[in-house]
């Protein structure tokens, strides 16, 4: 009987084997705080916004480039017909449609001038031409 | 002395580490794929820009010479010879365009100096379409991007 009682005697597991009770301090240590979550969400949102802005800018740039660069454009070169434009070395106009004429001088003078070309200076990029001429009535 | 659970050093469990590792690997793979996409697109844009720029340089030089052209004719080597008025208005000069080792070279025959106009030029062909129409084709290839422009010039 004594042996039987000893067998069914509740065993004291001691403090190490006992299930530890969760204190509020331990629960706070294991979980994230609201501030941490908000900060991490803000950082992730900023990163996503940056990636989205990059994507939008890149797609706009690609579409603009595609519009600008036709794969196989065809140009019709129209040489200058005005003799002064030819003397000045004006470039030919590149038209996208056939049958267009180059620039001609709209000035129709009732007087007859003698035009003397004094000097020509072209800018480095070729976009501007400076000409000094002198006009004398014939 | 026995350690209580409160005194055990705080650390991550194996499950937490596995989850974090999987998430980080997933994020790294997504970032790598996105980076590859962006770098390919950037290289594509750079190639297109360079091709368009070289093509524009070639067309500007050609239109500059064809503006005050006296006559223009293709050469036997698919180049182009242009007789144009001299820039100062005194007399005429002859320039020749030819393709040389991937460069479009403008050679002023009166001076005898060849100047490369555009790089990465993979094709330059001038040919007579009819007796009065000249066709010039310029092809630029950079980084798997090919741009081609065709010019038609009428002698009349």
Q: Contact A102/A86 with Cβ under 8 angstroms?
A: no
Residue B66, C-beta contacts closer than 8 angstroms, at least 6 positions apart = A77, A79, A91, A92, B72, B82, B84, B153
Beta strands in chain A (DSSP E): 74-78, 93-95, 113-122, 129-137
Out of B34, B44, B64, closest to residue A91 by CB: B64
A41–chain B Cβ distance below 8 A for any pair: no
Give pLDDT tens digits for B95-118: 999 998 899 999 988 888 889 999
Report pTM. Answer: 0.61
CB–CB contact B6 A86 (8 Å): no
C-alpha B46: how far from chain center: 8
Q: Which residues of A touch B34 (CB under 8 A)?
A: 51
CA distance B100 to chain A (A): 23
Sort strands A113-122 and A93-95 into parallel, antiparallel or unpaired.
unpaired
Least confident of A4-8, A115-119, B70-74, B143-147: A4-8
Instruction: Please report the number of interchain residue pairs, chain A to chain B, with beta-carbon separation below 8 angstroms.
Output: 101
Q: B78: exposed, middle or buried (C-beta count within 10 Å: 0-12, 13-18, 19+)?
A: middle
End-to-end CA separation in angstroms for chain B: 109
Give pLDDT tens digits for B28-53: 898 888 888 888 878 888 888 888 88
Out of B68, B149, B151, closest to residue A86 by CB: B68
B117–chain A Cβ distance below 8 A for any pair: no
Give pLDDT tens digits for A53-110: 888 888 787 777 777 666 688 888 888 888 778 777 788 888 887 775 555 555 555 6
Residue-range domain boundaries for chain B: 38-154
Position B94 scores a pLDDT of 92
Position B5 scores a pLDDT of 56
CA distance A137 to chain B (A): 22
């036997």: which residue's tokens? Answer: B76
Q: Which residues of B touch A91 (CB under 8 A)?
A: 60, 63-64, 66-67
């Amino acid at each position: 009987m004594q042996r039987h009682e000893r067998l069914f005697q509740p065993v004291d597991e001691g403090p190490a084997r006992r299930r530890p009770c969760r204190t509020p301090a331990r629960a706070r240590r294991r979980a994230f705080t609201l501030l941490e979550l908000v900060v991490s969400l803000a950082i992730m949102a900023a990163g996503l916004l940056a990636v989205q802005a990059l994507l939008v800018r890149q797609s706009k740039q690609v579409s603009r480039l595609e519009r600008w660069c036709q794969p196989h454009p065809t140009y019709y070169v129209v040489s200058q017909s005005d003799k002064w434009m030819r003397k000045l070395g004006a470039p030919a106009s590149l038209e996208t449609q056939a049958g267009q004429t180059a620039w001609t001088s709209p000035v129709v003078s009732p007087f007859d001038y003698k035009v003397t070309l004094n000097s020509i200076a072209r800018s480095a990029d070729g976009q501007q031409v400076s000409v000094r001429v002198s006009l004398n009535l014939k | 002395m026995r350690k209580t659970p409160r005194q055990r050093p705080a650390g991550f469990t194996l499950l937490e580490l596995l989850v974090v590792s999987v998430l980080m690997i997933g994020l790294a793979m997504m970032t790598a794929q996105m980076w590859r996409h962006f770098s390919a697109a950037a290289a594509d844009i750079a190639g297109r820009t360079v091709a368009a720029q070289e093509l524009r340089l070639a067309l500007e030089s050609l239109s500059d010479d064809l503006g005050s052209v006296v006559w223009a004719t293709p050469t036997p080597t698919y180049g182009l010879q242009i007789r144009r008025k001299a820039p100062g208005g005194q007399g005429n000069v002859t320039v020749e365009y030819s393709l040389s080792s991937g460069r479009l070279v403008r050679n002023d025959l009166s001076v005898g100096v060849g100047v490369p106009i555009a790089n990465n030029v993979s094709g330059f062909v001038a040919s007579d379409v009819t007796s009065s129409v000249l066709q010039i084709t310029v092809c630029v290839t950079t980084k798997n991007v090919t741009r081609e422009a065709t010019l038609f010039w009428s002698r009349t």
